[in-house]
């Protein structure tokens, strides 16, 4: 008898390219993507690994940040999310999903390109959550540009302000409140190691995040605060369809990965959960990659 005749399918089926060409104005909405990304709204099941924890997630309305917010709530954490005001529609959905788990949800819209807002963001999150012990610096800006000659100083500055400066400002502000045993988790990218020609500024910021993570882990070791990062490869999020990729690349997005498709946000959320768990108390200064099999990091 063939031992595989009645085997159980243990992997979920996810969307594969080609995708419909689509573009949205920045910053984009998950709710308007085709196909709609899977953030674990239905599939993620928690086991109480973060019970009683309090997390702040930037970019928590959509994409990877949304998947992390859902996962954290289902693992027992209260969650504050930051997002741009234009992303209110997606953010409202996340708030409902967090509250459906019986957890506290805090929505704090605002632009993290402002140092003043970053400081206010942390204070409001701490106040409404009554503490903070997980910080996820996830929000990012990605706009492709074919040449350094057409990459404006304004765009270059906006990418660095969103991806690097905000991480610095928010982390610095959060350290006033983070107790021993806390976890800081940053979102870098495979672009830090294998940069695309059209993502010159974005790739630089992701390399900076990787270095920031490793250096800060050494600084905060004595305080027993762990610092790690996750490096996504091609993931199906609004980042890609609101200027992050040319339309011809959107159509075949993720096709060159060994698994033949882009990742869905729900597939990377467990890495953020693992980094946040107190049981991983000796894991710091690490960068974990999820890129569909290329083994970049």
Positions annotated as catalytic residues are: 202
Tell the residue number behind the tokens 């074919």, with chain if given: 146
Q: What is the spatial distance between Cα 48 and Cα 7, in angstroms, rounded to a whole number?
A: 30
Q: What is the spatial distance between Cα 69 and Cα 237, in angstroms, rounded to a whole number?
A: 15
Q: What is the spatial distance between Cα 139 and Cα 90, in angstroms, rounded to a whole number?
A: 14
Provide φ and ψ at 29, rounded to 5°.
-130, 135
Helix H or strand E segment including 271: helix 269-276
The pair of structure tokens assigned to 270 is 């467990």
Q: Do the Cβ atoms of 19 and 35 come closer than 8 Å?
A: yes
**Distances in Å between the alpha carbon of 15 and those of 46, 91, 250?**
23, 23, 13
Q: What is the spatial distance between Cα 44 and Cα 78, in angstroms, rounded to a whole number?
A: 17
CB-CB neighbours of 6 under 10 Å:
7
The pair of structure tokens assigned to 214 is 């490793």
Q: What is the spatial distance between Cα 213 and Cα 204, in angstroms, rounded to a whole number?
A: 14
Q: What is the spatial distance between Cα 167 and Cα 206, in angstroms, rounded to a whole number?
A: 11
Radius of gyration of the chain (CA): 18
Q: What is the spatial distance between Cα 222 and Cα 47, in angstroms, rounded to a whole number?
A: 30
Q: What is the spatial distance between Cα 220 and Cα 224, in angstroms, rounded to a whole number?
A: 6
């Amino acid at each position: 008898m063939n031992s595989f005749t009645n085997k159980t399918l243990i992997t979920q089926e996810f969307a594969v390219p080609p995708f419909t060409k689509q573009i949205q104005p920045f910053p984009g909405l998950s709710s308007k993507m085709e196909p709609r990304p899977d953030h674990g709204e239905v599939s993620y099941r928690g086991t109480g690994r973060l019970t009683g924890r309090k997390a702040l997630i930037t970019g928590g309305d959509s994409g990877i940040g949304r998947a992390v917010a859902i996962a954290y709530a289902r693992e027992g954490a209260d969650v504050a999310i930051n997002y741009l005001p234009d992303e209110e529609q997606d953010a409202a959905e996340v708030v409902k999903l967090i509250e459906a788990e019986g957890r506290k949800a805090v929505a704090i819209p605002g632009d993290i390109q402002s140092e003043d807002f970053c400081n206010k963001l942390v204070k409001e999150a701490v106040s409404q959550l009554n503490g903070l012990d997980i910080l996820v610096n996830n929000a990012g800006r990605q706009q492709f540009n074919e040449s350094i000659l057409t990459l404006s100083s304004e765009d270059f500055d906006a990418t660095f302000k969103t991806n690097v400066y905000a991480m610095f400002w928010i982390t610095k502000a959060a350290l006033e409140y983070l107790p021993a045993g806390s976890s800081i988790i940053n979102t870098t990218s495979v672009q830090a190691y294998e940069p695309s020609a059209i993502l010159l500024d974005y790739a630089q910021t992701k390399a900076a995040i990787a270095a920031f993570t490793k250096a800060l882990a050494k600084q905060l070791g004595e305080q027993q605060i762990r610092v790690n990062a996750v490096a996504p490869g091609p993931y199906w999020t609004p980042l890609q369809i609101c200027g992050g990729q040319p339309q011809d690349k959107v159509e075949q997005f993720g096709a060159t990965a060994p698994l033949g498709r882009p990742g869905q946000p729900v597939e990377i959320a467990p890495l953020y959960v693992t980094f946040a768990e107190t049981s991983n108390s000796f894991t710091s200064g690490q960068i974990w990659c999820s890129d569909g099999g290329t083994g970049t990091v």
